[in-house]
A and B are shown apart, each in its own frame.
Chain A
C-alpha cells in the first residue's frame, strides 16, 4: 500500500492522468485482483496439474504443464469401489440433508414471520442461539448418544445430525426472507377464501423458491464436505462419505499416490463448483444476510 504514492507528491489527490498515469491506475486495480486470483486458484490449478501426470512424472517434472498427459488417475478413481460407494453415500446424505432441512425450516420460519403467538421471541431465540455451538462441543455427546440408541454407522444418523446443525441457519435466512414478502398478498388471498394450505402452496412456496434453493445448497454443501462427524459416526465403507474416503486414501502406507489423491479431490470438488456457478447469486445473498446486521 505504501508504495502506491511513490513518485508523487505526498498529498497528490490522484496520479496525473497521462499514458503512465492511466497504466498506473489500472495496475493499482489489476495487481491486487491478480493476486487474489492466484491465492484462490493456485491450489486448484496445481492439483489439476498433478492429477493429469503419471506417478513417476510428479517427481520428475515439477512444472505446471504435464509432459505425459494422462487421465489414468481419473480412470482409477472412478472405477474404485471405495469411491463409487462413497460418492453414492455423499449424494444420499447430501440430498437427504437438503430436503429435511428445508422441510423443517420452512414451516418454522413461516410461523415466526407470520404468526403472533405467545413465546414467539423466546422460541426463535431457542432455535437460533444453538447455532453458536461448535462441532467440537457436540462431537463426544453425539457419538455416545448414537452408540446408546444404536444409530452408529447409518446414513440417516448423518442426515439427522446435519439437519439439526443447519436448522438455525435455515430458520434465520427464511424468517428474513418471509419478512420481505408483503403480507398484503396473503391477506388478499385470505379474503378470497383461500385456506392456510392453499396460501402456502400457491403464494408462499413460489415466492420463497430462492430462499429454499439457498438453504438446500448450503445444507448440501455441509453434508457433502463435513468430515469430523463422519469420522466419528461411521465405521464401515457402506456409510462413509467422500471426505472420509479421500482422507483414507491419504493415510495409506507407502509412496504417496499424488495423482490419485489429486484426481479424487478434483472429482469431489468439481460437481459442486459447477452447481454453485449456476446459482451463485442466491448463495452469496444467503451468506451475507445475517453476517452483518
Chain B
C-alpha cells in the first residue's frame, strides 16, 4: 500500500513539487482517466482477481458425481483433504522443497551477489550473463538438468566418479529426486535473487565499510557484522519471493518428474494438479489451491514478523 502511494508520488529528479492535474485542467473530458485505465483493470480482474476469488468460493461446493450440478457442501472438501494421507505427503514434500530451496538459494544468492559486487570492471557483462537461466522455460531447464543428472551419461555422476563415488540414478531414486528438483528450481530462480541482493549491496554506504577497515575488521567480520545486517531488507524480500515461488510453483516439478518417483517429489501444487486434471475432482483441487494460498500468506507474514523482531525495516 505504501509502495503504491510512493509510486504515485515519485518526483522527477530535481523536479518541483507536482500534483497531477485533473483531466479538466488539462482540457480533457473527466471520463478520460477511467476510459484509459479500464482495459487494464478489466483484464486483471477477469484473469486474476475474479478467478481466484471464484475458486475460493467454489471450493465450498461439490458435484455428487461427474457431470451433475454442484451442491453446497460447506467445508467438506477441506475435511476430506485433511484426512487424505496423500495430502500430508504433499505437505511434507513441499516443506522439504521450500526449505531446501531457501537454504541453497539464499546461500548461493549471497555468495554470487558478493562475487558480482567485487567484479567492478566486468559487472555489466557478468550481470547480464547471470540472467540467462531466468530467460528459459521450466521445460528447457528440466531437459538440461535431466541430462546433467542422468545416471548413465550425466556430468554429475562422471564428476563423482573421479572421487570414486558411484552416483545414484538421481531422478529414478526416491531419495535423490528431490535434490535434483531443488537444484533445478534454484537454478531458474537464482538470477532474480542475485539481482535483488546485488541491488541491496550497491546501496550500502561504503563509509561504514571504510570505517570498519580502519578499525581492522577482517573480511569475514565485515561481511558478518556489517554487510549482511545492512542487507537484511533485501534478504527478507528474497526469502519471501523464493518461498512464494517454491510453495506455489508447478512448472519445474511438472516438467522434471511429474511428482514421481512414487510421489517422492509430489509437492502440493503437483498434488493439486493431479486431483484436478487426473482425478477430475475440481472442487477438491480448489480446496487445496486455497490452502496453498493461505499458507503462502501466513508464511509471508511470518517472515516479516521475524524480520521485525530483529529490527529490520522493510
Contact = CB atoms under 8 A, between A and B. Distances in A.
Contact of A46 (B3, B147, B276, B293): B147
Interface in A227-280: 227-228, 231-232, 242-244, 246-247, 250, 258, 261-262, 264-265, 268-269, 272-273, 276-277, 280
Contact of A179 (B10, B111, B286): B10
Contacts of B150: 258
Interface string A179-201: 11111000000100001100000
Contact of A5 (B122, B147, B219): B219
Interface stretch (B18-26, B75-83, B85-93): B18-26
A126 B44 contact: yes
B229 interface: no
Interface string B96-137: 000000000000100110111011001000111111110111
B51 A138 contact: yes
Interface range for B: 35 or more
B165 interface: no
Interface in B10-54: 10-13, 15, 18-23, 26-28, 30, 32-41, 43-49, 51-52, 54
B116 A250 contact: no
B148 A181 contact: no
A228 B250 contact: yes
A180 B216 CA distance: 42
Contacts of A244: 139
Interface string A107-142: 111111111110011011111111101111111111
Contacts of A131: 48
Contacts, number: 354
A272 B135 contact: yes
Nearest to B132: A40
Given A140-B286, A179-B12, A190 B26 contact: yes
A191 B141 CA distance: 55
A286 to B, nearest CB: 11
A27 to B, nearest CB: 11
A288 B108 CA distance: 19
A144 interface: yes
Contacts of B144: 43-44, 46-47, 262, 265
A111 B32 contact: yes
A121 B8 contact: yes
Interface in B256-289: 269, 272-273, 276-277, 282, 285-286, 289
Given A180-B13, A228-B250, A33 B51 contact: no
Nearest to B136: A269
A182 B15 contact: yes
Contacts of B20: 113-116, 183
Contact of A292 (B41, B48, B196): B196
Contacts of A41: 129, 132
A103 to B, nearest CB: 8
What secondary structure prevails in chain A residues at the interface with B? helix
6 contacts: A37-B129, A136-B292, A140-B55, A141-B52, A167-B47, A246-B137
Nearest first, the 8 A-B pairs at minimum CB distance are A164-B47, A32-B115, A134-B248, A225-B137, A108-B40, A130-B48, A141-B51, A111-B36
Interface of B: 1, 3-8, 10-13, 15, 18-23, 26-28, 30, 32-41, 43-49, 51-52, 54-55, 58, 108, 111-112, 114-116, 118-119, 122, 126-133, 135-148, 150, 152-153, 155, 158, 187, 190, 192, 195-196, 199-200, 203, 213-214, 216-220, 223, 233-234, 237, 244, 248-251, 254-255, 269, 272-273, 276-277, 282, 285-286, 289, 292-293, 296
Given A123-B37, A164-B44, A228-B273, 19 more contacts: A32-B115, A33-B115, A36-B116, A39-B112, A108-B38, A117-B23, A134-B292, A136-B289, A138-B52, A168-B44, A183-B12, A183-B18, A195-B27, A231-B254, A246-B143, A262-B143, A284-B195, A290-B3, A292-B203
